[in-house]
Amino acid sequence: MRRRAMCFIDGFNLYHSLDNNLTFKKYKWLDLWSLSEKLMLPNETLVEVFYFTAYTYWNSARQMRHSDYVLINENKGCKVILGKFQEKERFSPVRCSSSCAANASQGYCGKKFLIHEEKMTDVNIAISILKACVLGICDAIYLISGDNDLVPALETVKELFPKVRIRVILPINAKAKNLMNTCKKNGFKYQRIKEHHLASSQFPNLVVIGNNSYSKPAHWI
């Protein structure tokens, strides 16, 4: 009997592993369903792919590219679960002889600036994994992420659903030493995405869906 496998993809963790390396940038036009299928064992059938991400609302051009990418992956059968970005204030720690802010520590700039932090993604992934196990709709879980924060969810699955097979898939360029050590400690199987997985899981440069067409961004080629 074939195992029912589900793949849970930490979108930005995967994206940054490609975007931060000139060799792998060209692979960002990634067919997530196809990639997930290539990671399955021969006795497994891929039944769901969940893609967790958030839109960069402060950059309209980037958000448009991202929404197009989400749409074409949804057309392939992926289920997209959105988190959000939250603004947070930070203060410059740069050493400075004349601080920009009156309340800055002596010798530091202290100038205020905003950063954007992705929120809800880890929680959404954890809840989705546990929900699939509670409903009994999967026999194998594949987590594509290099984020150690997701280990408690996997440990809970191991404790409550010992028959569910767990495999962690590390993004190709992710620094994930802690996660690998944690997998060894807990007996989770893990592997790293290889370049041939990415190269063979690309959308065509032009994707047509109904009356609309979507092109791979020129700076991704």
CB-CB contact of 150 with 143 (8 Å): yes
Residue 116 confidence (pLDDT): 42
Residue 91 confidence (pLDDT): 59
29-42 mean pLDDT? 97
Residue 145 confidence (pLDDT): 95
- The three-state (H, E, C) secondary structure of the chain, written as one string: CCEEEEEEEEHHHHHHHHHCCCCCHHHCCECHHHHHHHHCCCCEEEEEEEEEECCCCCCHHHHHHHHHHHHHHHHCCCEEEECEEEEEEEECCCECCCCCCCCCCCCECCCEEEEEEEECHHHHHHHHHHHHHHHCCCCEEEEECCCHHHHHHHHHHHHHCCCCEEEEEECCCCCCHHHHHHHHHHCCEEEECCHHHHHCCECCCEEEECCEEEECCHHHC
Residue 99 confidence (pLDDT): 55
95-111 mean pLDDT? 59
Residue 206 confidence (pLDDT): 95
Residue 100 confidence (pLDDT): 61
Q: Looking at the predicted structure, is the pLDDT value of residue 55 above 50?
A: yes
pLDDT category of residue 61 using cuts at 50, 70 and 90:
confident
Residue 104 confidence (pLDDT): 53
- Cα 135 from Cα 178, distance rounded (Å): 31
pLDDT category of residue 50 using cuts at 50, 70 and 90:
very high
Q: Looking at the predicted structure, is the pLDDT value of residue 157 above 90?
A: yes
Query: In terms of DSSP bridges, do strands 189-192 and 79-82 run parallel, antiparallel, or are they unpaired?
Result: unpaired
Which of the two residues, 40 and 1, has the higher pLDDT score?
40
Spell out the domains of the chain, with CATH numbers in brackets: 3-83+120-220 (3.40.50.1010), 85-119 (no CATH)
Query: In terms of DSSP bridges, do strands 112-119 and 84-91 run parallel, antiparallel, or are they unpaired?
Result: antiparallel
Which amino acid is residue 21, in one-letter code? Answer: N
pLDDT tens for each residue of 107-153: 556 666 554 466 679 999 999 999 999 999 999 999 999 988 899 99
Listed residue (28, 20, 10) closest to 205, CA to CA = 28
Which of the two residues, 108 and 74, has the higher pLDDT score?
74
20-48 mean pLDDT? 95
Which of the two residues, 165 and 101, has the higher pLDDT score?
165
Which of the two residues, 81 and 106, has the higher pLDDT score?
81
Mean of pLDDT over the chain: 87
Residue 173 confidence (pLDDT): 81
Could you give the C-alpha distances from 14 to 11, 30, 209, in angstroms and in order?
A: 5, 10, 25
- Cα 5 from Cα 11, distance rounded (Å): 19
pLDDT category of residue 182 using cuts at 50, 70 and 90:
confident
